[in-house]
Amino acid sequence: MRSQRCCISCRLMADKSVFWRVVRTVPDRQIQLNSGMGRSAYLCKTEACLLAAEKKDRLSRALKTPVSKDFYQILKQQLLDGQADR
Ligand SMILES: [Zn+2]
Query: What CATH number is given to the structural domain containing 66?
Result: 3.30.1230.10
- In the reported structure, the alpha carbon of residue 28 is separated from the centroid of ligand 1 by a whole-number distance in angstroms of 27
Into how many domains does the chain fold?
1
Quote the DSSP letter at residue 18.
G
**What residues are paired with 19 via a beta bridge?**
44
What pLDDT does residue 42 have? 98
Note down the domain range covering 47: 4-85
Tens of pLDDT along the chain (86 residues)? 678 999 999 999 999 999 999 999 988 899 999 999 999 999 999 999 999 999 999 999 999 999 999 999 999 999 999 876 55
What pLDDT does residue 68 have? 95
Quote the DSSP letter at residue 7.
B
- In the reported structure, the alpha carbon of residue 47 is separated from the centroid of ligand 1 by a whole-number distance in angstroms of 9
- In the reported structure, the alpha carbon of residue 49 is separated from the centroid of ligand 1 by a whole-number distance in angstroms of 5
Q: What is the pTM assigned to this prediction?
A: 0.90
The DSSP secondary structure of 51-83, one letter per residue, reads HHHHHTTHHHHHHTS---HHHHHHHHHHHHHHH
Cα-based distances in Å from 67 to 1, 9, 33: 32, 15, 12
* Main-chain phi, psi angles of 69, to 5 degrees: -60, -30
